[in-house]
Amino acid sequence: MSKDKNIEISLEKLLEIVPNRFELSIVIAKRSKQLKMGSKPLIDVDVEKMDPIDIAIKEIYEGKIDIVQKDKVQYEESVLEELDTQLEERLKEELEEEEKEPKKKEPKSSKKSKSLAA
């Protein structure tokens, strides 16, 4: 291995690649989890000597990871679909409960109608 494999990677350099620090942390976490679960690194490293988080950071730095941001509209549509599904399920449950309950008879009015005679 060459010495440049151990270069320091600063947060500023990573933020040039992924401008949002929260998205950067999510990408690092997801990739390190993949590595822990057995995915092969996309760079030449000794997995026994290097932490999965460090490998993920190095992969991002070297441009080996494509970062795809979900389109905001796509995200909002998926949220709306999920809410719609939940609402349909809730309404279905409420209808089923109403059908199971015995129907209450409405009391008859005690007032008698008077007929009008001419």
pTM: 0.53
Q: What's residue 74's pLDDT?
A: 78
Rg (CA), the chain: 31
Residue type (1 letter), 49: K
Per-residue pLDDT of the chain (118 residues; tens, 9 = 90+): 333 445 578 889 999 988 889 889 999 999 999 999 999 999 999 988 999 999 999 999 999 988 776 666 677 788 888 899 999 999 999 999 888 877 666 566 555 656 665 5
Residue 112 DSSP one-character state: P
Q: Kindly list the structural domains of the chain, giving each domain's residue range(s) and its CATH number in brackets, ordered by start.
A: 7-89 (3.90.940.10)
Measured CA to CA, the distance from residue 24 to residue 10 in angstroms comes to 13
